Amino acid sequence: MFDPYFDSVAAFIAMGEHGFFVWSAYGLSALLIVTNMLVAVRRQGRVRAEIARQARRDGARTSPKAGTSSNSVESNQ
Amino acid sequence: MWKTIKRWYHQLGSPRYFYRFCEAVLPWLVPVSLALLAVGLIWGLVYAPVERYQGDSYRIIYIHVPASSGALMGYIAMGVAGLVALVWRMKMAEVMLKALAPFGAALAAVSLLTGALWGKPTWGTYWQWDARMTSMLILLFLYLGIMALQNAIRDPRQAARAAALLAVVGVINVVIVKYSVEWLNTLHQGATLKVVGESSIDASMKWPLLISMAGLWLLYAANVLIRARTEVLSRERRSGWVRRLVRDEEA
């Protein structure tokens, strides 16, 4: 069971004449999935940077009394 | 049991607790999902035997089935989140509704594309307007429609309500996708993996399929947690704990 099914790398790439279909299927899937993950991670970085920038601006204006303007309600409504 | 569920509902329903939950889970969720995906795909592509009638094109199954089932499960999760958002107005349900859509849409697209590329050598056509394929295309449109609604309406809570309604109504399409191969006469083959009863797929092909399925589903979960965490930060940006968090990270 744990011997590779294909005799050679060439046979693996050829996929019994179906190489085009198999590899374009996997290529397109990888493209869509990887792009989606990267977009999610980059958006997170952007939002964090934005909040940090805002916090610095606020900190410069008022003395650091962070947490007083809190509207962080611990309810889920 | 009921108490545990209730506690989870309230804890994970709190944005701050949810954020901490993500911090704890994501560092291992991403590597585990990638490792499972790698094992499943290499096993399926390199070691699994060939299918007697379809030849090596059947190896598309190792991405096609995980992506299709992931897109369907993601949609069901959106339906549940939508229901909770509509009935209980729970903030985190709205956040999840938004976080679930993009990767689900990508998986629906992967399902359609890989299905077409599998259909050509197997059925002789990339596309056929049959029940399974058409309902899967509708699933992609539902995902895209929900994303469009969320972006089109300015007020996030109103946007969430509209999206939630579409998500709940659209669940009927998931049922159609699932049973289209049993009730209707379609080109698509019936299910080979069964939760109840004997699967009609050999163990040498079933295990790599189940492993890559677990991998892709967990990667979906990781994607959702990353997106939900971003959404929580964005919505709670004026709250004390987010400001303290950002400040602590800067220091």
Which stretches of B14-129 are DSSP H helices? 15-42, 61-88, 91-123
pLDDT at A1 over 60: no
Residue B18 forms part of a structural domain: no
Please tell me the predicted confidence (pLDDT) of residue A76: 54
Please tell me the predicted confidence (pLDDT) of residue B251: 67
Residue count (chain B): 251
Please tell me the predicted confidence (pLDDT) of residue A77: 52
Residue B5 forms part of a structural domain: no
Please tell me the predicted confidence (pLDDT) of residue B216: 98
Q: What are the helix and strand counts (H, E) for chain A?
A: 2, 0
Interchain contact B159–A (C-beta under 8 A):
no
Please tell me the predicted confidence (pLDDT) of residue A68: 46
Distances (CA, A) of A43 to A57, B67, B110, B228, B233: 21, 23, 22, 11, 11
pLDDT at A25 over 60: yes
Question: Whole-prediction pTM value?
Answer: 0.90
Interchain contact A23–B (C-beta under 8 A):
no
Q: Which of B50, B102, B240 sits opposite A70 (nearest CB)?
A: B240
Residue B90 forms part of a structural domain: yes
pLDDT at A70 over 50: no
The 3-state DSSP class for residue B34 equals helix
Q: What ipTM did this prediction achieve?
A: 0.90
Q: How far apart are CA B78 and CA B219, in angstroms?
A: 17
Domain count for chain B: 1
Tell me the per-residue pLDDT of B149-194, one tens digit each, with 9 for 90 and over: 999 998 888 999 999 999 999 999 999 998 888 777 778 888 888 7
Q: Between chains, do B226 and A41 touch, taking CB under 8 Å as contact?
A: yes
Residue B247 forms part of a structural domain: no
Q: How far apart are CA B158 and CA B238, in angstroms?
A: 20
Identify the segments of chain B with pLDDT beneath 50: none
Among all residues of chain A, which has the CA nearest to that of B234?
A47
Residue B149 forms part of a structural domain: yes
Residue B69 forms part of a structural domain: yes
Q: Which domain holds residue B111?
A: 28-190+201-241
Bridge partners (DSSP) of residue B55 are B51
Please tell me the predicted confidence (pLDDT) of residue A69: 45
Please tell me the predicted confidence (pLDDT) of residue B104: 98
Residue A57 binned pLDDT confidence (cut-offs 50, 70, 90): confident
Q: Which of A22, A43, A52 sits opposite B56 (nearest CB)?
A: A22
User: Which residues 27-56 of A are in CB contact (within 8 Å) with B?
Assistant: 28-29, 32-33, 35-37, 39-41, 43-44, 47-48, 50-52, 54-56
Q: Between chains, do A71 and B239 touch, taking CB under 8 Å as contact?
A: yes
* Angle formed at CA B136 by CA B148 and CA B39, multiple of 5 degrees: 100
Please tell me the predicted confidence (pLDDT) of residue B114: 96
Residue A73 binned pLDDT confidence (cut-offs 50, 70, 90): very low
Residue B20 forms part of a structural domain: no
Interchain contact A8–B (C-beta under 8 A):
no
Residue B94 forms part of a structural domain: yes
Please tell me the predicted confidence (pLDDT) of residue B112: 97
